[in-house]
Amino acid sequence: MKRVGKGAGLVVALATAGLALAACGGGTVNEAASSSAAPAPESSAAPAESSAAPAPADCGSWGVAMHAWVGYTASAQVLSDVAREKLGCDITQTTLDEAGVTYDAMEAGSVDVIIEDWGGGRWQEWVDRGAIVEVGLNGNVGLIGMYVPQWMCDEYPDITDGTKLNEYADLFKTPESGDKGAWLEGPPGYTTIGEKLIEANGLNYKIINTGSEAALIEAFTKGNDNKEAVLGYFYEPQNFLAKVPLCRINFPANDWTDAAKASGLTDYPETPLVKLATVKLMDSGSPFATLVQNFEWTNEDQNQVALDIESGMTPEEAAQKWIDANPDKVAAWLEGTGAS
Amino acid sequence: MDVKAVLRLRWVQALIVLVVWAVTATALKGVQTQELSTATDSPFTAIMRDAAAAIRGNRAESPLFIYFFNPIRSVITGFIEIFMGVIAVPAPGNVIPMLGWFGTLVLIGFIVYATSTLRMALVSMFLLFLCGMLGMWLLTMETLAMTIGAVVLSLAIALPLGVWAGLNDRVMKVLRPWLDLAQVLPTLVYLAPLALVFLIGIASATIATMIYSIPICIRITALAIKSLRQGPIEAAESAGSTRWQLLTKVQLPMAKTTIILAINQTTLAALSFVVIAALIGAPGLGKPVIEALTIRNVGDGVVAGLAVVLLAVMLDRSTSAAVNRDQSGYAAADAAKVRRRIGLAIFGVLTLIAIYLSRYLLWFAVFPEQLIFGEYVAEAANALSEWITDNLGFLTVTGSEQFTVWVLNPLQDVLANSPWWLTLIAITLLAFILAGRTVGILVFVLLALVMATGLWNDTMLTLAMTLIATGFVVIIGIVLGVWAGRSARADKFLRPLLDAGQTMPAFVYLVPVLALFGPTRFAAIVLGVVYAAPVVIRIVADGIRQVPKESVEAAVSAGSTTLQVITKVQLPVSRRSILLGVNQGLIFVLAVVVIGGFVGAGGLGYLVIVGQSKPELAGKGLAAGIAIVLLGIILDRIAQGRPQKSPQGRH
């Protein structure tokens, strides 16, 4: 007992000494970093934790939500890097699930910006509570839908007509779906209306909840390689489509002017993607708020960066490449921030 | 034997129930199955949904939040952030936390040295260095900081409670149902309610970790105090010690070794949970593991998973070394004591130098990129998983499809696609027959509650997967367990695999399993088997090893073959362990079948996951959590069988 007591005492003494040592003293690695270019700390392992930045000016410290799909990564990385380089903001990137989880984090104050949200108003509850505001469109247009591998469209040309889908139900039968066709639904966090689609179109299909995007990509890759029939949820812009060609099933159009008719959904609409931010950020007067407000680019822009990331660049490198190649667009975003 | 005697046999009765059930279910297939589409609420889930919305709406204003939950959140977050700030998270604008990697490494080495041995200190430092070489230094430190913080908080609550429960049977009686419940509670279940109250982030993750590790610590501590030899205690009592003196001078020192074991088990439990807690915003190694699933990068997940395993080995070995030292330490000679003190002093000075260096020299501050080989490991893992998919995929897919058609679907037809009342009656009857009247009534009530949640059909889907996975686990567990129990060499071969299987987070092998079996219920079953088999193998092997040598030798000399020895002597004698193995297998499988929701298995697991990400389905997620708990208790009670014996603690 006594000896361990001494050991513990020693540990405490040492820890105190160590912390005292750590607290004092100028010229540490940290100070060196803020005066010169910072070394990238393990950027390959933890891009989200990187914190190389010029001395924070009046921009302040803000959190950017990171979502898993690469298109989102492209947008968020470009936004973060412009904020860091041009405005001297201190940006923390936090990886979170889409939607509710992130809205909660925004309400809790750990995240300030979602640069690309697909969810058509599902954030309303948080807006009502004064936590989140819509900051307009980010310029990307998303299209969700049900897709099959390209070879199926070649072989059965009218399969893309959603009203004919029942004739092909047998092709999509699996042990999971029993005597109906298997309908691979999108991951839990994504916007999905499969049940409504099946009901509204009277389809003889059974929903298989895939649970993750990995499962969908796995299924489509297999379907393409082995010429297996797969019907599943997917979306554009997504550069997976450049690797495994898919074609979209089109269901009868619906009236989209009235959001209240959502219960009659017969296909996914084209979705202009929305920027969301915390009220705290937008009321702060920070130049970062202005940048978020101004941020806008096209599907093509996003795909360029996304493709670079997929072909092996780090998100930072890919974002930097786009920023260097598009000074006009960046300058337009910076309007009103005082930076150039 | 006359017919009446045969009918009195329990297994005959059970068989009759099963046959009648199967026949009736086939006749009534698809009738009153209580199937509910994902987007539809039952009355109960609607109530839960509104409650969840009310909680979300009140978080900003309700006094309960302002004066109770929110302060708890701030305090816990602040506490964890202290550890984070020292070793893991650089302050805004900084490159390194308070200590650079080298300073942290040597400091941890010093702490391990001070509590156990020099050899252990070096091993620990080596393991941590490997984590750095995997390219995971900061993330490993985040996980370590989270774990240490959660363990400190857990011990602060669990040690006093455990001691109290050990001293006072009445306290134990009050605590026991909660400890039992915590043991059958799948971890994924309490994430959603916690995130609802404490929001996504460090606080929720820490509290979830504590809920998981505190019961284990209380159990072991209480047992430690309770099972002390009474002699010294009575002597102290008759010498006039007060109760406080008795506790601090006699009972605690005597129980110290076991209490350190409790700390060891608490630490490992906390670490294994920190990965799952990444789902509600825990920082650290869990993040890349879970991201690997979403972006389908097996390699990154494997690298982070390896770092988790290394950290687990390090924490396990260093805390168990502390136990050993504590047992042997008293006899040490004076010369050894002096030598050790000098050693500590030297190591201490080295630590201070290392800390200093790590703050001023880049090489010692930021883990040098030249040493990192994590990407190669990731690439290799990716290549391997691709090769397996390409070359073995056809086998696994056909196999799993056949299995689904011939075994899983028929079972599911009986359980889920038949009238709900039929299943309810049949399961209740089986509980009566196998586990007696008390359990029978309990199971009936619990099933009725499942029915009341409105998630009957999903619960039965999950039950079907759980039963099949448990079947596999028990077969594998008995075969490998007997092998490991009989042969020391087999045990040596299996042990590291079992260690890795138990510490590697289930999410790491989600993606390869997905690649092999596609988004199917079978994939979820495989997950459950991989996760639960190590525990069952361990328990069975322990049981076999405890069979008295004399009985085995007697059988051998009587001319029994190896098979006869196993089936006639070793298995029957270790029956208790095997039953415990079945019980633990069921519970472990249930915990992971839930994760199967990520690979297209549907059922309750999917509802839990979807409820977490879609606010409009929050009610279904919460109700699914309740249904899982009910199912866990039902399975646990039936599997414990007739005589009431409580399962031993988790290993």
* String of DSSP letters for B127-146: HHHHHHHTT-HHHHHHHHHH
Q: 3-state class of A8 per DSSP? A: helix
- Say if residue B338 is exposed, middle or buried (CB neighbours under 10 Å; 0-12, 13-18, 19+): exposed
Nearest one of B438, B403, B491, B454 to B626, comparing CA atoms = B454
Confidence of residue B1 (pLDDT cuts 50, 70, 90): low
**Closest residue, chain A, to B372 (C-alpha):** A42
Q: Report H helices in A24-99.
A: 29-35, 70-87
**Cβ neighbours for A78, distance < 8 A, ≥ 6 positions apart:** A297, A305, A319, A322, A323
Chain A residues within an 8 Å CB radius of B295: 68-70, 213-214
Check CB contact under 8 Å for B519 and A219.
yes
- Closest-CA distance, B542 to chain A, in angstroms, reads 33
- Token pair listed for A284: 């702060």
Question: Residue B285, Cα to own-chain centre: how many angstroms?
Answer: 17
Of the listed ranges A253-267, B36-50, B267-281, the least confidently predicted one is A253-267
- Say if residue B616 is exposed, middle or buried (CB neighbours under 10 Å; 0-12, 13-18, 19+): middle
pLDDT confidence of residue A40 = 39
Q: What mean pLDDT comes out for the span B573-597?
A: 83
pLDDT confidence of residue A44 = 35
Q: What mean pLDDT comes out for the span A210-235?
A: 87
Ramachandran bin of A211, using left for φ above 0, alpha for ψ from -120 to 50, beta for the remaining angles:
left
Strand partners, A71: none
Q: Determine which helix (DSSP H) or strand (DSSP E) holds A139, and give its type and residue range.
A: strand A132-149
Residue B298 near residue B385 (C-beta atoms within 8 A): yes
Confidence of residue A41 (pLDDT cuts 50, 70, 90): very low
- The ipTM value here is 0.72
**Cβ neighbours for A164, distance < 8 A, ≥ 6 positions apart:** A158
**Closest residue, chain B, to A55 (C-alpha):** B93
Round the average pLDDT of chain B to a whole number and report it. Answer: 85
Out of B57, B372, B613, name the one closest to residue A188 (CB). B613
- Closest-CA distance, B335 to chain A, in angstroms, reads 14
pLDDT confidence of residue B10 = 84
Residue B205 near residue B146 (C-beta atoms within 8 A): yes
Range 142-181 of A in CB contact (< 8 A) with B: 174-176, 178
CA–CA separation, A223 vs B341, rounded Å?
67
Residue B404 near residue B441 (C-beta atoms within 8 A): no
- Closest-CA distance, A324 to chain B, in angstroms, reads 24
Check CB contact under 8 Å for A52 and B287.
no
> Which has more confidence, B107 or B233?
B107
CA–CA separation, B651 vs B585, rounded Å?
12
Q: What mean pLDDT comes out for the span B533-545?
A: 88
pLDDT confidence of residue B158 = 93
- Token pair listed for B253: 């020192």
Out of B57, B135, B348, name the one closest to residue A45 (CB). B135
Confidence of residue A1 (pLDDT cuts 50, 70, 90): very low
CA–CA separation, B327 vs A6, rounded Å?
17
Round the average pLDDT of chain A to a whole number and report it. Answer: 80
Instruction: Tell me which DSSP letter residue B616 carries.
Output: G
Q: How do residues B610-642 score in pLDDT, each as one tens digit?
A: 887 777 888 999 999 999 989 988 988 888 776
Question: Residue B527, Cα to own-chain centre: how many angstroms?
Answer: 14
Count of CB atoms within 10 A of residue B129's CB? 17
Check CB contact under 8 Å for A10 and B359.
no
pLDDT confidence of residue B328 = 60
CA–CA separation, B203 vs B59, rounded Å?
15
pLDDT confidence of residue A249 = 92
> Which has more confidence, B199 or A282?
A282
Nearest one of A309, A189, A164 to A238, comparing CA atoms = A309
Confidence of residue B92 (pLDDT cuts 50, 70, 90): low
Check CB contact under 8 Å for A222 and B518.
yes
Q: What mean pLDDT comes out for the span B507-533?
A: 83
Q: 3-state class of A207 per DSSP? A: strand
Out of B94, B195, B520, name the one closest to residue A51 (CB). B94
User: Does A95 touch chain B if contact means CB atoms closer than 8 Å?
Assistant: yes
Check CB contact under 8 Å for B281 and A218.
no
- Token pair listed for B528: 């459950």
Check CB contact under 8 Å for B518 and A1.
no
State how far the alpha carbon of B208 is from the alpha carbons of B150, B205, B392, B580, in Å. 9, 5, 39, 26
Out of A7, A25, A122, name the one closest to residue B114 (CB). A7
pLDDT at residue A13 tops 80: no
CA–CA separation, B393 vs B397, rounded Å?
6
Confidence of residue A50 (pLDDT cuts 50, 70, 90): very low
With a pLDDT cut of 90, the percent of chain A lying above it is 33
* Amino acid occupying residue B384: L
Check CB contact under 8 Å for A104 and B90.
no
User: Does A52 touch chain B if contact means CB atoms closer than 8 Å?
Assistant: yes
Confidence of residue A36 (pLDDT cuts 50, 70, 90): very low
Count of CB atoms within 10 A of residue A143's CB? 15
Residue B151 near residue B334 (C-beta atoms within 8 A): no
**Cβ neighbours for A120, distance < 8 A, ≥ 6 positions apart:** A191, A259, A271
pLDDT at residue A21 tops 60: no
* Amino acid occupying residue B265: Q
Q: Determine which helix (DSSP H) or strand (DSSP E) holds A138, and give its type and residue range.
A: strand A132-149
Check CB contact under 8 Å for A7 and B344.
yes
**Cβ neighbours for B204, distance < 8 A, ≥ 6 positions apart:** B191, B194, B195, B197, B198, B277, B280, B281
User: What is the dihedral sign for C-alpha A250, A251, A252, A257?
Assistant: negative
pLDDT confidence of residue B110 = 93
pLDDT confidence of residue B187 = 76
Q: 3-state class of A238 per DSSP? A: coil
**Closest residue, chain B, to A189 (C-alpha):** B613
User: Does A247 touch chain B if contact means CB atoms closer than 8 Å?
Assistant: no
> Which has more confidence, B468 or B90?
B468
Q: How do residues A85-108 score in pLDDT, each as one tens digit?
A: 999 888 988 877 777 778 888 887
Candidates B50, B94, B137, B351, partner chain A, best to mutate (most A CBs within 10 A): B94
Out of B90, B200, B287, name the one closest to residue A108 (CB). B200
**Closest residue, chain A, to B394 (C-alpha):** A226
Question: Residue B219, Cα to own-chain centre: how many angstroms?
Answer: 16
* String of DSSP letters for B54-121: HHHHHTTT-HHIIIIIHHHHHHHHHHHHHHHHHHT-PPTT-SS-SS-HHHHHHHHHHHHHHHS-HHHH
Most confident of A161-175, B57-71, B503-517: A161-175
- Token pair listed for B251: 């009972």
**Closest residue, chain A, to B520 (C-alpha):** A176
**Cβ neighbours for B540, distance < 8 A, ≥ 6 positions apart:** B477, B478, B480, B481, B482, B485, B574, B577, B578, B581
Most confident of A35-44, A45-54, B457-466: B457-466
pLDDT at residue B154 tops 90: yes
Q: What mean pLDDT comes out for the span A14-18?
A: 59
State how far the alpha carbon of A34 is from the alpha carbons of A37, A55, B97, in Å. 7, 6, 14
Check CB contact under 8 Å for A22 and B519.
no
Count of CB atoms within 10 A of residue B75's CB? 12
pLDDT at residue B390 tops 60: yes
pLDDT confidence of residue B371 = 86
CA–CA separation, B204 vs B80, rounded Å?
12
Query: Rounded to the nearest 5°, which phi and psi values hold at A132?
Result: -125, 145
Strand partners, A270: A143
Q: How do residues B162-186 score in pLDDT, each as one tens digit?
A: 999 988 889 999 998 888 888 777 7
- Closest-CA distance, A194 to chain B, in angstroms, reads 10
pLDDT confidence of residue A5 = 47
Query: Rounded to the nearest 5°, which phi and psi values hold at A285?
Result: 75, 10
> Which has more confidence, B645 or B581?
B581
Out of A7, A19, A98, name the one closest to residue B613 (CB). A98
pLDDT confidence of residue B330 = 52
Residue A252 near residue A201 (C-beta atoms within 8 A): yes
Q: How do residues B14-27 score in pLDDT, each as one tens digit?
A: 999 999 999 999 99
Chain A residues within an 8 Å CB radius of B359: 21-22, 25, 28-29
* String of DSSP letters for B221-284: HHHHHHTS-HHHHHHHHHTT--HHHIIIIIIHHHTHHHHHHHHHHHHHHHHHHHHHGGGGT--S
pLDDT at residue B60 tops 80: no
Nearest one of B417, B462, B416 to B609, comparing CA atoms = B462
With a pLDDT cut of 90, the percent of chain B lying above it is 28
CA–CA separation, A125 vs B52, rounded Å?
12
Of the listed ranges A2-16, A60-74, A220-234, the least confidently predicted one is A2-16
Range 274-313 of A in CB contact (< 8 A) with B: none
Check CB contact under 8 Å for A61 and B201.
no
**Closest residue, chain B, to A240 (C-alpha):** B295
pLDDT confidence of residue A42 = 37
Q: How do residues A295-320 score in pLDDT, each as one tens digit?
A: 999 988 998 898 888 777 888 999 99
Of the listed ranges A90-99, A256-265, B203-212, B213-222, the least confidently predicted one is A256-265
Residue B511 near residue B385 (C-beta atoms within 8 A): yes
pLDDT at residue A27 tops 70: no
Residue A69 near residue A213 (C-beta atoms within 8 A): yes
User: Does A37 touch chain B if contact means CB atoms closer than 8 Å?
Assistant: no
Residue B610 near residue B621 (C-beta atoms within 8 A): yes
- Closest-CA distance, A247 to chain B, in angstroms, reads 21
State how far the alpha carbon of A188 is from the alpha carbons of A92, A124, B221, B598, in Å. 26, 19, 41, 9
Q: Give the A:B interface size as CB pairs under 8 Å.
A: 254
**Closest residue, chain A, to B284 (C-alpha):** A46
pLDDT confidence of residue B93 = 65
**Closest residue, chain B, to A193 (C-alpha):** B39
Q: 3-state class of B306 per DSSP? A: helix
